[in-house]
Structure 1
């Protein structure tokens, strides 16, 4: 994470430029701008390319990123779950594909071109791609197809969670100016201890920022449910219910996040739920925006880092309030499986001198 920190900071510099040019006169669709920001971050860190989707919303990388998330509509979601219930031999026989083939082809070409260029020209860059290239050598080397799959997974894992978390955090902070000011004060106080420099160490010290991000992810996890497979037959204590080995288990993450037993007054946005004292009162596995256990999302640390850096950039430069174009209270879209609002989240930005 520390190795890729400066790459993310470079993208936040571009984010500020774009917002200064476009947002101080007009309301900002914060979900759109943050999706473009996280696209540029992952393009740089995972694929080793400069996407410039902040400048050009029609950039190819951004276009295919939208195609990936668009597949998570109702029809696309059904396609994703078919392999869970239909034998793979039958799917292979009918040439069934979960993903749009053009998406796979695009990322395949992108990764292979980058790997070949770096190897042919001895180019070394401190990013996720470089780590994977180094793993193509040794006793158990990765294949080029392995690298494509890892980069694509990194994109899917880090893109939607981070852009949504920043957007929903902005929505809540716009309605809670006292919380917005408190986290802004923490940013400035922390940076003063680091000579005004936004460093990895400084961001790691922002504990109230952590609470704000965690609470935003509690209320608005990108994926409202999880699937797991039971690896060993298990009888639930004090019941006669037995889950057999191989059973697919549906975990309602959003339902757990709104359970008043764990989170009293769950509709309220309260970052203090994630103070050390309050966390100690809850059992494990009650905060699941990234899953939990050995199959926790591989992009969790990266996603949290780019979320915090995105919010740091916004809070240092601007005060924001909710624009009247935003529907309140928010209503979740029913068009797909991801947690997203109906319509956009529009905010008004005021520059801080």
Structure 2
């Protein structure tokens, strides 16, 4: 018994020594950092007290004036560099991308095919897949999908109309309503299906989308492995998606492909492009083709990203417009003016003329970037001419987008909602890599244009037909769901909505 106790004590001592040595890395290098917790590192406040994006924002603002271009950080035991210098941000995202190509996040293409999407895969596989998918998001493809988006926008308009009265405000939870709009848009464009989410609040596409974002495969018990040690988690054959979600999307994609191949139906949507690549793979052209599991993963992430990020952005935009009636009035005036020039119809060309709509969305994404921090994994030792910028291979690099967006030296009065920050002149006057809701460089969000397009269409429909104001149920300021990685409002966003006479 004494031998067993001695061995246990020795093992515990070795683990403590290894942990202490691991947590001493930044101190040995003389890099500024907060003292880490023995287990959690510098991430102790997440996921119960503070949102992870706000942890990195505060870290950025605390250390941005130091002599070093980054601050040391520990995500549990993973050494992490939080970038605090814009020039180094540019090098990580663009100039020296070859050192920081991968995100270093979990995926498991064998056991959890939904997780192996363009967002998470690495290396040569990522480069090949990005090259294959890039033509899917050209301006021409966006224009082809525009009528689908407009049709869903008209349906959302009718749903809001049925819930409101002219001259009398109704209190509505707007995030759920716009989420049903984005669900129907993405369902149509990604799967060629009328999801009926706007008509049916309990529609399966919406409930499954929420499950995919919120629910954890192991009830969150193994998150420290999945987030902190993704390679180990993959070797242990862990999965991030719950089985119900995996089965639902696998069935939808399988039936959609089978139906389109059987009927030869063409819809000029995202799925058409994926099926073309699937047919090439089936014919033996693996260089240009995609397997079923690859199509499944891309359709899934396209739905998830478009559903959640666009609806959240539209909800935050409506909240800010409710607080700033002068901006809402100016926005409505532009929408009506442009529509009058286009026979009161939404056209692709007309939407491009609505500059202020886009500025409102861009300012919303500055204040509320749905993915509030960006991660990269250092592939090789990054040894630039300045030794202070040295980042060792295997270090996780965090670009704190929320911190940069709230830096008063970049955006004066960052708490204020000012769409004029995004005029062409104002954008040109700022350094690059200072607006990062979609990332930047070769690994930026491939669906950037589509996300902006559906958000702008949805917002234009709503502001044209309705007035949004705050009500007693409106949470001011908004509280975020701290446990989620993405930014989202706690308990949604409640606003008074009044129908306007057209």
TM-score, normalisation: structure 2 = 0.66
Which of residues 305, 309, 318 is equivalent to 1:161? Answer: 309
Contact 1:74–1:337 under 8 Å retained in 2: no
* Structure 1 position 225, deviation (Å): 0.9
Q: Distance in 2 between matches of 1:181 and 1:91?
A: 52
SS of alignment partner, residue 87 of structure 1? helix
Q: Where do residues 28-43 of structure 1 align in structure 2 (5 Å cutoff)?
A: 28-43=172-187
Q: Show CA shifts across 1:296-342 (max 9, x none).
A: 11221111001001101101111111121011122222131221222
> What do the CA deviations read for 1:42-73 (whole angstroms, capped 9, x no partner)?
10110110111111111111110110121379
List aligned pairs for 1:1-353, cutoff 5 A: 1-24=142-165, 26-71=170-215, 76=220, 79=223, 82=226, 85-88=229-232, 91-92=234-235, 94-138=236-280, 139=285, 140-235=288-383, 240-353=388-501
Q: Give, in whole Å, the separation in 2 of the partners of 1:314 and 1:63.
A: 23
Q: Distance in 2 between matches of 1:230 and 1:207?
A: 38
Larger Rg, first or second structure (1 or 2): 2
Shift of 1:245: 3.7
Q: Could you tell me whether the CA contact under 8 Å between 2:216 and 2:241 is conserved in 1?
A: no
For the Cα contact (< 8 Å) 2:197–2:203, is it kept in 1? yes
Q: Once superposed, which parts of structure 1, at least 4 consecutive aligned residues long, lie more than 4 Å away? A: 72-78, 235-239
Shift of 1:160: 1.4
Distance in 1 separating the partners of 2:344 and 2:490: 39
Q: Aligned partners of 2:406 and 2:246: how far apart in 1?
A: 36
CA distance in 1, matches of 2:144, 2:244: 32
| Alpha-carbon separation, structure 1, partners of 2:255 and 2:147 | 24
The Cα of 1:145 is off from its aligned counterpart by 1.5
Structure 1 position 147, deviation (Å) = 1.3
Question: What is the alpha-carbon distance in structure 2 between the residues aligned to residue 13 and residue 49 of structure 1?
Answer: 17
CA shift at 1:80, angstroms?
8.4
User: What is the CA deviation profile of residues 78-97 of structure 1, one whole-angstrom value per residue up to 9, with x for unaligned ones?
Assistant: 63872662435x644x4311
Alpha-carbon deviation of 1:23? 3.3
**Aligned equivalents of 1:157, 1:133: Cα separation in 2:** 20
Change (3 A) 1:54 1:84: same
Specify the alignment match of 2:67 in structure 1.
none
Seen in structure 2, the aligned counterparts of structure 1 residues 75 and 256 have a Cα distance that, compared at 3 Å, is: farther
Q: Return closer, same or farther for 1:76/1:47 CA change in 2, 3 Å cut-off.
A: farther
CA contact (8 A) 1:73 1:337 kept: no
CA distance in 2: counterparts of 1:200 and 1:40, whole angstroms: 19
Q: CA offsets, 1:284-305, max 9 Å, x none?
A: 1111111111111122111100
Unaligned runs of 5+ residues in structure 2 are 1-141
**Post-superposition CA distance 1:242-291 (Å, at most 9, x none):** 01344321111111110111101100000111112221221111111111
> Higher mean Cα deviation, 324-333 or 207-216?
324-333
Provide the aligned length of Structure 1 versus Structure 2.
351
The two structures have a TM-score, normalised by structure 1, of 0.93
Structure 1 distance, partners of 2:237, 2:391, is: 33
RMSD after superposition:
2.2
Q: CA deviation at 1:19?
A: 1.0
> How has the CA–CA distance of structure 1 residues 301 and 31 changed in structure 2, closer, same or farther, with 3 Å as cutoff?
same
